[in-house]
């Protein structure tokens, strides 16, 4: 025992002092200097080069960004097959469904590639490379520049750099700010546009538990779907064409169906959207008191109004299914976030950190000169915006995006005004004709009566909750011409606007009239809504706020030189790593690390749409017809949890084992750690993953997709040792010899080769 403790101590001393376990969404290009040693000690059998490389096939070449960062997916075959979440493809599935062929409800599985369905407008991007461009971007930027001048200078450089990296449209390129403008990185992507739906489970599987189970553990949701990337004959991106070929990837993930046990190494690579880990105590207080409650209030009303129409008409239910799910997801998220912030005393923890920072800065004249006013600048912003923070939420949630018609009206107004500025009649007509495609997409999922009721309900709430001086200008018309009657205004707008139906808009586009445009009530609302929303960003404290945060984050990192801070998520590829692990949610509430099909049957309730279990699935479960997907106990694992750090955008991310194999698909966080985007809590924070064995069981046994499971490559791993890993130990048993990723399928020369010599949700 003493010798074991001595080994553990030596291993701890050998680790870089700045590494902290588990917390962090790390840039994949920086693993060598930050995290590789700790990942190895947790059990990783790969090198940093095998995870991210620009010259050789690596794990990053199997990780894809969906639609600019809305979700993540992974390549799982040499024929461009993609796994992601059911809710990530939900909108696409809904758009391909009809009342007569409701694939959303009933599921879909292509038995051959000829049956795969093109998804218009869907894009999948591969990261080509990441480049640290901080020195170039900040060259010539001085401390005495105003924030406006600094921003303008930086944006100019970013535009030039991204334009050059795009190579005339061959790639997509963007420069992202990190650590509040202290660092900058260039990301280059190759984007594929011919994407086809391969399959999705019935909604009763893919969304089992619905809003009730959303963000909750234990979970029994088969949240997956399948897509395929198609390319031209040279394996390059191309628009849809019948003769396009399945994409040949540089790397794809083999599937491990040996399962996971507590303590196993696990990691996720993906595209997390946004976190706010450097948020101040004043920001936490504003969220708790003002912005979170307002967001929940607006979305609650919107959900109940939509659901009334969805329950009454199957066609409306199908049209609004994706919109409802998206609205509900973050409605519940903000409820949970507020509870978590309070329960974990995040405000007090932030205050202590700020007090420590102020004390550190004050102890040195040079530090005081640079950082002494940073916190005051941040506080001044919140003091200035607390009075309008709630109205800002309403400007967005109830004004601009509350009703689909309002946002559509703004987009149309922007297009029409651009067209009318065009002196060439042919070009003007082309601009307006081009908008017809957007209109087709909009009205496909539009129901006039639903929109009318949503608009009226949110308008009334907006006017009730927000004082007249903070409302958008169009609301004064309700008082002036409709005696304060929101319903009367709504009736008049929907009776007269040419935007309320596809037929009326198309007729207008064929014979556009500036006079008719100027008088249209929906146009007036849309333009006023965007003006009010944009105005929420215009305040005298904004520039000082930006300066203050940049200095605070810079100083915080300087104050703690032995701590590695991961940058806030910003829809760029990140990696998070840890272990499969259970947790204690509250006093006497202990959760195991996995769930099984037993829980599906325990939750089954045929009177509740959220907990319906298809008869065929129930039959398979009752017979325990799990085949090779059962664990050693004869159970079929549905989901498992690991202490990984994710956020929205990571939906669909692969959960990968120590050898680079797929063990599951991440799809959610847990309720007790909903404050995690602001404050990471290692004892509580868990990622919920659908086990790949359950995914393959559903594909093969329920969906009849053996053609798909046969397409995959299955990992070969050694038998587990008889003794299980000691979770209390700092160092796990010695890992197996590193196993490199499998050789890539034949493909053209990597487009990532440098020309001179890029994760509920």
Catalytic residue flag (residue 95): no
CA-closest candidate to residue 713, choices 662, 664, 757, 654: 662
Q: How far apart are CA 201 and CA 222, in angstroms?
A: 8
Q: How far apart are CA 65 and CA 405, in angstroms?
A: 29
Task: Tell me how long the chain is.
Answer: 761
- Which residues, 6+ apart, have CB-to-CB distance to 340 below 8 Å? 346, 672, 673, 674, 675, 676
Q: Say how far apart CA 83 and CA 64 lie, in whole Å.
A: 10
Q: Is 622 exposed, middle or buried (0-12, 13-18, 19+ CB in 10 A)?
A: exposed
Active-site annotation holder among 61, 223, 659, 668: 223
Q: Which ranges in 126-242 belong to alpha helices (H)?
A: 134-138, 147-165, 203-206, 210-213
Q: Which of 61, 78, 86, 87 is catalytic?
A: 87
- What are the contacts of 89-95 at 24+ separation with CB within 8 A? 89/197, 89/200, 89/225, 89/227, 90/321, 90/322, 90/325, 91/322, 92/119, 92/122, 92/197, 93/197, 93/200, 93/225, 94/318, 94/319, 94/321, 94/322, 94/445, 95/119, 95/120, 95/444, 95/445
CA atoms within 13 A on the CB side of 13: 6
By the 10 Å C-beta count (0-12 exposed, 13-18 middle, 19+ buried), 242 is classed as exposed
User: Per the structure block, which two tokens stand in for 268?
Assistant: 């996720």
Inter-residue contact 455 to 403 (CB < 8 Å): yes
- Write out the two tokens for 240: 């849809």
Give which of 476, 568, 472, 465 is closest to 526, Cα–Cα: 472
Which is nearest to 701 in space by CA: 598, 616, 632? 616
Q: Where are the alpha helices (DSSP H) in 560-634?
A: 597-603, 615-623
* Nearest residue to 658 (alpha-carbon basis) of 83, 64, 260, 84: 260
DSSP code, position 166: T
Answer yes or no: 520 catalytic: no
Look up 651 and say whether it is catalytic. Answer: yes
> Which residues are CB-neighbours of 636 under 8 A, at least 6 positions away?
596, 597, 621, 624, 626, 629, 630, 693, 694, 697
Q: Token pair for residue 380? A: 């001044």
> Looking at the annotation, which residues are catalytic?
87, 223, 651
């Amino acid at each position: 025992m003493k010798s074991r403790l001595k080994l553990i101590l030596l291993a701890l001393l050998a680790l870089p002092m700045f590494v902290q376990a588990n917390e962090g969404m790390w840039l994949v290009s920086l693993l060598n200097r930050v995290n590789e040693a700790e990942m190895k000690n947790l059990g990783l059998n790969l090198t940093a080069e095998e995870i991210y490389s620009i010259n050789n096939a690596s794990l990053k070449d199997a990780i894809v960004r969906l639609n600019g960062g809305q979700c993540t997916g992974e390549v799982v075959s040499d024929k461009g097959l993609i796994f992601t979440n059911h809710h990530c493809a939900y909108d696409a599935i809904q758009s391909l469904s009809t009342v007569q062929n409701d694939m959303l409800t009933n599921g879909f599985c292509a038995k051959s590639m000829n049956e795969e369905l093109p998804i218009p407008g869907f894009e999948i991007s591969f990261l080509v490379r990441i480049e640290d461009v901080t020195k170039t971007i900040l060259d010539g930027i001085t401390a005495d520049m105003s924030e406006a001048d600094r921003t303008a200078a930086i944006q100019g450089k970013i535009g030039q750099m991204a334009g050059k990296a795009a190579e005339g449209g061959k790639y997509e390129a963007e420069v992202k700010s990190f650590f509040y403008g202290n660092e900058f990185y260039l990301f280059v992507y190759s984007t594929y546009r011919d994407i086809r739906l391969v399959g999705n489970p019935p909604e009763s599987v893919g969304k089992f538990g619905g809003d009730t189970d959303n963000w909750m553990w234990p979970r029994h949701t088969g949240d997956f779907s399948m897509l395929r990337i198609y390319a031209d004959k040279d394996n390059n991106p191309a628009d849809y064409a019948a003769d396009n070929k399945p994409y040949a990837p540089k790397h794809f993930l083999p599937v491990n169906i040996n399962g996971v046990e507590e303590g196993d190494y696990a990691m996720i690579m993906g595209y997390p959207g946004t976190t706010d880990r450097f948020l101040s105590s004043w920001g936490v207080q504003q969220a708790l008191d003002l912005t979170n409650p307002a967001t929940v209030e607006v979305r609650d009303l919107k959900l109940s109004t939509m659901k009334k129409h969805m329950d009454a008409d199957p066609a409306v239910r199908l049209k609004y299914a994706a919109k409802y799910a998206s609205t509900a997801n973050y409605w519940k998220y903000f409820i949970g976030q507020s509870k978590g912030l309070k329960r974990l005393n995040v405000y007090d923890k932030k205050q202590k950190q700020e007090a420590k920072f102020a004390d550190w800065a004050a102890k040195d004249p040079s530090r005081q000169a640079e950082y002494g006013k940073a916190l005051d600048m941040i506080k001044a912003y919140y003091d200035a915006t607390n009075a309008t923070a709630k109205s800002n939420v309403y400007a967005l949630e109830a004004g601009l995006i509350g009703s689909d018609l309002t946002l559509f009206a703004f987009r149309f107004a922007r297009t029409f005004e651009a067209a009318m500025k065009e002196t060439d009649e042919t070009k003007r007509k082309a601009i307006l004709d081009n908008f017809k495609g957007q209109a087709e997409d909009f009205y496909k999922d539009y129901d006039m009566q639903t929109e009318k009721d949503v608009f009226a309900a949110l308008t009334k709430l907006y006017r009730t909750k927000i004082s007249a001086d903070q409302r958008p200008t169009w609301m004064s018309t309700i008082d002036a011409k409709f005696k304060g009657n929101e319903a009367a205004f709504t009736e008049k707008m929907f009776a007269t606007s040419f935007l309320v139906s596809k037929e009326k808009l198309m007729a207008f586009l064929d014979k556009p009239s500036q006079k008719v445009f100027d008088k249209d009530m929906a146009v007036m609302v849309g333009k006023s809504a965007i003006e009010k929303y944009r105005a929420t960003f215009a305040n005298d404290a904004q520039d000082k706020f930006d300066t203050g945060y940049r200095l605070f984050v810079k100083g915080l990192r300087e104050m703690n030189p032995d701590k590695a801070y991961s940058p806030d998520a910003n829809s760029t590829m990140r990696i998070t790593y840890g272990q499969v692990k259970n947790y204690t949610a509250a006093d006497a509430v202990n959760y195991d690390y996995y769930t099984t099909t037993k829980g599906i049957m325990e939750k089954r309730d045929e009177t509740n749409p959220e907990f319906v279990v298809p008869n065929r699935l129930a039959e398979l479960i009752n017979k325990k017809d799990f085949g090779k997907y059962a664990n050693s106990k004869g159970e079929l694992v549905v989901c498992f949890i690991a202490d990984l750090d994710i956020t929205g955008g990571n939906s669909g991310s692969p959960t990968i084992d120590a050898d680079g194999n797929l063990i599951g698909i991440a799809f959610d966080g847990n309720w007790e750690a909903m404050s995690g985007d602001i404050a990471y809590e290692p004892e509580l924070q868990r990622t919920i993953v659908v086990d790949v064995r359950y995914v393959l069981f559903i594909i093969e046994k329920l969906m009849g997709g053996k053609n798909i499971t046969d397409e995959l490559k299955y990992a070969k791993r050694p038998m587990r040792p008889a003794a299980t890993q000691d979770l209390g130990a700092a160092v796990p048993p010695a890992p197996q010899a590193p196993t490199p990723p499998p050789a890539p399928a034949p493909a053209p020369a990597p487009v990532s080769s440098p020309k001179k010599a890029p994760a509920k949700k």
